[in-house]
Structure 1
Amino acid sequence: MNFLKYTIIRLALATAAFFVAYYFGAGLYLSILGGAIIGFAISYLAFPKLHLAAATDFNGWFKRRPAKSKVEEENQAFEDGLDEEARKQEGIDI
């Protein structure tokens, strides 16, 4: 939820900065660039706690992995042992 709030604030600030720059005659492309830079810089500096919370939320989406079961852990350990044994027999050092 924090990621959504922070994104909306960033977009609102960027849009407002775009319209202000465009109103004062900066041109379309310069207004887009200036609006993005100013809007994102203000949101980053003015809302550091929300920025951190949004980053934590975003990171959590990619860290969600189901925990391994006991059988999967045993299988992984067994396969690692077989691999190490094969490397020792071939004389390969890791």
Structure 2
Amino acid sequence: MNLLKYTLLRFGIMLLVFILCMFLKIGLVFSAIFAVIIALAACYLGFPRLHVAAGEDMARLFKRKKSSTKRSEEETNREIEDAYVDSKFSQE
């Protein structure tokens, strides 16, 4: 949930800065660059607790995916071993 809040906050600041820069006729490319840099700095410096909480959410998300793929690899290895053992016993 914190990841979503942080992402929406950062996107909102980026959009606000982009619109302001376009209003000031800075140009499309420079407006986009300024918007990204200012949103990054504002969120990182202005909301450090939310930044850390979003990072923890992201770590939990990747840890969960990694553990689920590890289980599937273990299951695959078991199936391969079972097939090997079955083939050895059926030849005798």
TM exceeding 0.5: yes
Partner of 1:61: 61
Q: What TM-score comes out, normalization by structure 2 length?
A: 0.69
Partner letter of residue 12 of structure 1? G
How large is the Cα RMSD of the aligned pairs? 1.6
Partner of 1:20: 20
Offset from partner CA, 1:38-91 (integer Å, 9 cap, x none): 11210111000000000000010111226x9xxx8xxxxxxxxxxxxxxxxxxx
Structure 1 residues not aligned, in runs of 5+: 73-94
Percent identity between the aligned chains?
41
How many residue pairs match? The answer is 68
Partner of 2:32: 32
Secondary structure at the aligned position of 1:25 is classed as coil
- Cα displacement (A) at 1:13: 0.3
C-alpha separation in 2, matches of 1:50 and 1:18? 23
Partner of 1:91: none
- Cα displacement (A) at 1:25: 1.1
| Greater helix content | 2
Q: What TM-score comes out, normalization by structure 1 length?
A: 0.67
C-alpha separation in 2, matches of 1:5 and 1:47? 11
Structure 2 residues not aligned, in runs of 5+: 75-92
